[in-house]
Every structure is written in structure tokens, then in C-alpha cells.
Amino acid sequence: MNDTAEITDLDEKKATQLPKPQGYHILCAVPDIEDKFEGSGLIKANETQKNEEILATVLFVVELGPDCYQDTNKFPTGSWCKKGDFVLVRPHTGTRIHIHGKAFRIINDDSVEAVVEDPRGIQRQ
């Protein structure tokens, strides 16, 4: 087996380890946290990076559960987001997990507060 095939097999194995959200839950990826402060080039402490990840308010929608946005009384205008969207949520929202060093969250469908076209530059206050 060549190196390319081994990398592809490893990537496929990692992809199958992502949890499949059930019910009204949404699987989201936490965008990578920068290791340096913007503009200064100073390296962030590990604790600072960890806190930024935990308190992240911008998430990337990976997968929606089968019951997301099905309650027409609660969501009369339909879905608030779709797979591939960047969404804004409150800090500490959802169940936090790590898979192969990548941070994910499982959130409820009604935790989405906004959809963002370009999340670069958005910071939590």
C-alpha cells in the first residue's frame, strides 16, 4: 500500500467516527483557534486557546439530526440553518467533544441565534 492510500484510509476512518446527531440535535465543528494574537504575533498560552475554544460562539454546521426544525409551531418559517452554514450560538452551548484533536459540539436546533456568511473577524465580547 502506498502512502497516499494509507492517508486516504485514515481520513475515511476518522470521518466514520463522527457522531451522527439524532432527533433535534446538530453536530457542529468549532473553527480552529489561532495560536497567535492578531496583529502582534504573540503566541497565546495553551490555557487561553482552551478558553477561546470552550467559549466559541461561531460554529460550523456539519450535520443536522432528522428531527431538526420539524416542529412547525416552534419554527413556522422553517429551518434556521443548514449543513455547511456558520452559525452563532451562546458561549458554553452544547455538548463538547474532541475527535482526533478537533473540537466539536452537539447543540439543539433552537440554540442557533444567527447564520453568518463570513465569520472571520467575529469576536465574543
CA distance 19 to 33: 22
Contacts of 116 (CB under 8 A, 6+ apart): 58, 85, 86, 87, 88, 122
pLDDT single digits (tens) 80-92: 999 999 999 998 8
pLDDT single digits (tens) 2-52: 455 555 665 666 656 899 999 999 999 998 777 667 777 788 777 766 767
CA distance 87 to 108: 12
Q: Residue 5 CB: number of other CB atoms within 10 A?
A: 9
Residue 121 pLDDT more than 70?
Answer: yes
Tell me, what's the pLDDT at 64?
A: 98
Contacts of 9 (CB under 8 A, 6+ apart): 1
- pTM for this structure? 0.79
Tell me, what's the pLDDT at 1?
A: 46
